[in-house]
Amino acid sequence: MGRKIPIWQTFLVVVLSLGVIIYSIVFSYGESHMPLIMAAIIAAAVGALNGWKWSFMERGMISAISRSLQASIILLSVGILIATWKAGGIIPSMIYYGLNILNPSIFLVSVCILCSIVSLCLGSSYTTAGTIGVAMIGVSIGLGVDPAMTAGAVVAGSYFGDKMSPLSDTTNLAPAIAGTNLFDHIRHMAFTVTPSMLIALVVYAVIGRGTAGAHVSVTEADLLQSEILNEFTVSPLLLLPILILIVIVVLKIPALPGIYIGIFVGLACMTFVQGISIADWFPTMHYGYNSISEVQLNADYMVADLLGGGGFHNMLWSVSVILCSMSFGGVMEATGMLNDIAEKVLQIAKNTGSLVAVTICSCILVNMITADQYLAIILPGRMYRTAFEDRRLKAKNLSRCLEDSATLTSPLIPWNVCGATMKSFLGVPTAAYAPYAVLNWINPLISTLYGFLGFTMEKMSDEEYQEILEQRKLDAELAAKAVQ
């Protein structure tokens, strides 16, 4: 253990690290791996200068990386799922029928609603974006709609469902950290997410009738459908795997086993529907599906870009971002720099509105520094729980703030686990789709506004607050006995 790091040094680390990352993404080679490693080195150097041993900081890095292992395994598994669903004709069938039934003028609205429903059922933004989202990108290109707009609608819809689903990990984590009931938490979030979603849908409707609808190319849509028919057997029955995933959720099968059931369904479709040899299973799962099409769809895309891809190998880029970002976040957490920032920021909170604003800004900052949405929920949740209680605010107010900010802003940050994942799945840079992920950036603003207005900020009764004080006293006594 080292000595407390001066706050000016902590802020210097944050400024230098974020500066290096942003410079690399915007002005240099467009990736965040090397600057994240450089940021970890800067943080570790400051820690060492203040007496923190490397072995301790290394354990912090390993601990942070271990928290991301589940997300990494799911990411790699969804990569395999995408490859088998493309090779099995499942995603191509979605694209084919989507081109027939989706009207370009309401396309973005339809995409957002569809992803919301599927993600609400699955409780997973990753699985939704990796299946429905990938297909919708293909449909958008066939219709002449900007893929960045479509990716934004996919992300907004996927994270709406992820945020509101009782099956989602973050939706369970936030109330657990804040100390409230899961379904009280979900009902309370409806007050902020409903107007946010309505605003997002209005924006998508306006964009759809204006920009998106003006660039429809029947030729591109017909060409893409023709190439799909040349390469795949297309059938409405190939849409059933989506229903199978939903049944898996209803049966409460855990995420990873559910994804692998989906993978085996994809493998079966590859062999029995598309006639692909069993000998090609492993290469496809590992390296992704290679489309045989050589047709240029437009100036930016080959048909093969839409019909091929996925695979374990293609997800390693995102996993490497996770390893780099978790190393940086782990050093920041282990040396106490993250806690120091949160404590300093808390001093700004003088009323309910500023407390909500500080909580939301802290979650976003932790998302940026650690690239980990789970830590962005856990750390501010721990730090500000007492402050919310002492203002007589019910715990569900805190849990809502955590989700409104930490969960929803995570895919808007390029080096965050979620931002890197969405880029890998959808093939659109985070900075390109972020302006169109309207729900994700409007929701924190509405939540902050509610804090200042006091709207839906439910208060504790005197009896409830007294119970909190008694529980604190009991916890203190137990802690004292444990030390003795």
For the stretch 18-36, pLDDT in tens is 888 778 877 776 677 888 8
Q: At a CB cut-off of 8 Å and minimum separation 6, what does 88 contact? A: 238, 265, 266, 267, 268, 269, 270, 273, 274, 276
Is the pLDDT assigned to residue 355 strictly greater than 60? yes
Least confident residue range of 38-47, 216-225, 403-412: 216-225
| Count of alpha carbons within 13 angstroms of residue 82, beta-carbon side | 34
336: left (phi over 0), alpha (psi -120 to 50) or beta: left
Q: At a CB cut-off of 8 Å and minimum separation 6, what does 205 contact? A: 106, 108, 109
* Confidence (pTM): 0.76
> How far is C-alpha 261 from the geometric centre of its chain's CA atoms?
23
- Over residues 172-194, the mean pLDDT reads 87
User: What is the maximum alpha-carbon separation in the chain?
Assistant: 78
The per-residue pLDDT for 213 is 47
Listed ranges 321-335, 405-419, 464-478; the one with the highest mean pLDDT = 405-419
- Over residues 253-282, the mean pLDDT reads 90
Is the pLDDT assigned to residue 298 strictly greater than 70? no
- Distance between CA atoms of 157 and 176, rounded to whole angstroms? 24
Least confident residue range of 123-132, 415-424, 434-443: 123-132
- Over residues 369-385, the mean pLDDT reads 79
- Over residues 342-353, the mean pLDDT reads 79
Ranges of each domain in the chain: 7-67+317-469, 70-310
> Computed from CA positions of residues 85, 371, 332, 476, in that sequence, does the dihedral angle turn out positive or negative?
negative
Report yes or no: 465 and 389 within 8 Å, Cβ to Cβ: yes
Structure-model confidence comparison of residues 339 and 297, the more confident one: 339
- Distance between CA atoms of 218 and 21, rounded to whole angstroms? 41
The per-residue pLDDT for 217 is 54
Please give the structure tokens belonging to residue 367: 């998302």
- Over residues 233-251, the mean pLDDT reads 82
Report yes or no: 426 and 152 within 8 Å, Cβ to Cβ: no
What is the Cα Rg of the chain in Å?
A: 23
371: left (phi over 0), alpha (psi -120 to 50) or beta: left
Report yes or no: 326 and 332 within 8 Å, Cβ to Cβ: no
Least confident residue range of 67-76, 246-255, 400-409: 246-255
The per-residue pLDDT for 268 is 95
Scan for tokens 């650690």, then name that residue.
Answer: 370
Closest CA to 360 of 431, 439, 418, 446: 446
Q: At a CB cut-off of 8 Å and minimum separation 6, what does 362 contact? A: 341, 342, 345, 379, 380, 383, 384
Dihedral angle computed from the Cα positions of residues 3, 7, 8 and 10, in that order, rounded to the nearest 10 degrees: 80
- Over residues 314-338, the mean pLDDT reads 82
The per-residue pLDDT for 248 is 76
- Distance between CA atoms of 198 and 211, rounded to whole angstroms? 20
Long-range contacts of 314-318 (CB under 8 A, 24+ apart): 314/79, 314/287, 314/288, 314/424, 315/75, 315/76, 315/78, 315/79, 315/424, 316/76, 317/420, 317/424, 318/75, 318/417, 318/420, 318/421, 318/423, 318/424
The per-residue pLDDT for 249 is 65
Per-residue model confidence as pLDDT tens digits over 134-154: 888 888 887 888 899 999 999
Listed ranges 33-42, 96-105, 250-259, 468-477; the one with the highest mean pLDDT = 33-42
Closest CA to 72 of 321, 427, 327: 321
